[in-house]
Structure 1
Amino acid sequence: MPDLEDDFDAFASDGIFNGAYDDENVGAVADFNNMDDTINVSPIPPLKIHKNHPKDQILGDPKSAVQTRGNIQKASSVQQALVSYISNHNRTNHKDHQNCLLACFLSQEEPNNISQALQDESWVEAMQEELLQFKLHKEEGIDYDEVFAPIDRIEAIRLFLAFASYMGFTVYQMDVKSAFLCGTIEEEGYVHQPPGFVDHAHPNKVYKVIKALYGLHQAPRAWYETLSSFLMENGYMRGTIDKTLFIKKKKSDIMLVQVYVDDIIFGSTKKSMCTEFEDCMHKRFQMSSMGELTFFLGLQVKQQPDGIFISQDKYVADILKKFDFWSIRTATTPIESNKPLVKDEDGVDVDVHVYRSMIGSLMYLTASRPDIMFAVCACARFQVTPKASHLNAVKRIFRYLKHQPKLGLWYPRDSPFELEAFSEVIMEESALTKNQQQMDVNFLKED
């Protein structure tokens, strides 16, 4: 580190201390007796100083403690001494004063792309450290050809909850930490050399991957295979139709496990089987137990002594706010019975992206609101060239949701577990409302 007196001599010979002041101040000598002779240097290398950093990107007053976008660092004693000396000797009116202060401080921004990152030595060093693990692997081989990973549908979750209500057991939830890092790649998988870090001796080679990585196409499948193999090794049977459902039986008791990527819901007719499952999972993976199931895949779940109620009223509030329908008037039915939707080729065109976004939001809501299923599907047929009449029909569905935001599906505990189907037809408005509330395994119920 250069001596402070040397720095002062350099500044005095050329720069802010040369020929820009009156005779009384020119040639003033700093008193170095009140400064430390030694300075403790941190073993951590300091970050790179950008001497030409734009002034408008400096946060706060340059005279104050260092202000950066990511952190706040204190100025070193040398920097503080230099600033104090300049201020005490009235050197603040020189044209180079601000540039000198900027050189004393640091203002570092995170790079937005690879080109910016490669210009910073600290980022290059950090990325090089991340690539060291790939150096142990060999040459390029065959690529992967299968990335499919089973994932449960929202209908499967509803059946799971309906069966849990019928059997009278509580459903619990747990989460796997860093699930995709737990999977092992069975086939040969490779990744390209990252831009800016290509081995010049072997520019056409790739890295071989053994463990799954985030962003890797086969990471979800690798995690599913790892989890399913572990469960089957511990006595669980995988569902024949639903591959994300795992079942374990002990005499007259049954244990059900439903997997949605890293979220797992489970329940049993015997509480000790749930405890055993939790202990087994904790020994193999890093898990977070979340207690009784209350929210899953956007569904609000209320487990009560007499049954299970699922709804999406929070989601209804979100989409009403998203499309600015808080102040609209309400409607008692989701569709007009005496005004069927047609192509309306002569109608006024509307924004197709907004229309499709509204339809998509409503389709997800049908998971717990079968009363709007017919109306949503009718409007969804016109997503290619929607007209003003179609948009008005969609808006009516939102008006109906504002009128009935808290309807949901109720699975009573004393109801028989039998599949029932309902067919909706266009009829009188009062009869239509009654029919739309009877379209699922059980009736709709307001929370």
Structure 2
Amino acid sequence: MTLTNIDTIQYLRHAPILCKCSVQDLSRLIPFIEEHHLKAQDVLFRAEDKADKLFIPVNGTFQLLSGKRRIDDVSQGFVGEEAALDIDQYSLTCVAATNATALSIDTSAINKIKPANPFLEKGLYQSLVTHYVYKKNFLGREPTIDKDAELLAEGAQAQVLIGWILAIALPIVVALITARPSFEISESIQQFLTIFSAALVLWTFDLVAAFIPAVIIIFSLLVLDVAPSNIVLSGFSSSSFFLALSIFALGAVLSDSGLTYRIVLIILKAVPQSQFSYSLTLFLIGLFLTPVLPSANGRTQLVTPLMIDMVDALQLKTTGKGSTRLGFAAFSGATFMSFLFLSSKPINFVLVGLLPSQVRERFSLPYWTLAALAAGAVAIAGYLIISSLLFRNEEPTTLSRENLQSQIDILGPMNNSEWMAFVSIAIWLSGNEYAEVVKAMSLKRWFHY
């Protein structure tokens, strides 16, 4: 019996433990799933074989053997859990007791979704332990992994202890040194260096969340009156702060909602299957955002989740030329083409204002693009040539369109989170475009007078 894509999707959605994962994470597993058909007494894997696949029984019964002794019969759940638990070898032999079918998931795919699903490791450990009758160590050997974990835990505790000692002692040392009359350091600078030294230790040893030392610095400066409050808090009233905050918030919404992954799958299915097509698509997305979003950092922040999901979907090496080519395409499209559109940078409006009055009025949004078109064509041609020459590689990028459709199917229709992310980004982009038009009109009016 050959399983259809719909059957595979249903088994993933109803498999124990995996059913708790998001549909986006289940979709990421599709390219790494294989189907195995076995006859009675066929071996699925042997003890001490490399543990590289987690198996899900679909029908039939599998026997787990230690030598010739039968340990457990499994007809549902999992076998080969070692592959998902960073254990190098299978501890038992798995044999089909009857004609049977199983799905396998590659270890690399499981490892990719484990950080977002911490319950996976605990659940698979419990599943592995339930196969064993005796209470001795389930690997049949010394628990070296547990010893390694204990050593790592002891090292982490020592690092935390050293960090807190330094966080208390270093500010005292800094305060005593800077207070010496020979240095002639003002009291306000002494206080600032003392506060900053404590925050620096907290950041270096990662003792608390990254934002807490910054809050400590601001609060301490205000309480000790090191600087006027309007100076200390000036950054929170700037438009740049709120722009950066909104961009990071939108990036988080896009990634967590799964909208970027859905967009990537649709793109991969629609465009020709080649690295050139995929990189060109990312470049064009960045180019499309350039006239709409007047911040190169903001455009990069929005394109980055698409690029990361595309590298993941194409199964490219993160340090290989294929993924570097996609990163170069995303960065180039989002940043290098800023000169092509008047609204892509605030400085462009200042440049227009510096032109002679008889020339200035001609440079509307369309005319700026028309004037820069020749330079833009040269820049785009240069990007294409450099990208083709520097990032040549033989990493395969041929994806099964059937698998891509299965991944889209398992996502189902857009959920509320995805719709909210879509509406949020549309409102945000249109609001930024409106703000840039108003700013352009204000600048032109100011330079006119």
Shorter-chain TM-score category?
under 0.3
Q: Please say which structure displays the higher CA radius of gyration.
A: 1
Answer 1 or 2: which has greater helix percent: 2
Answer 1 or 2: which has greater strand percent: 1
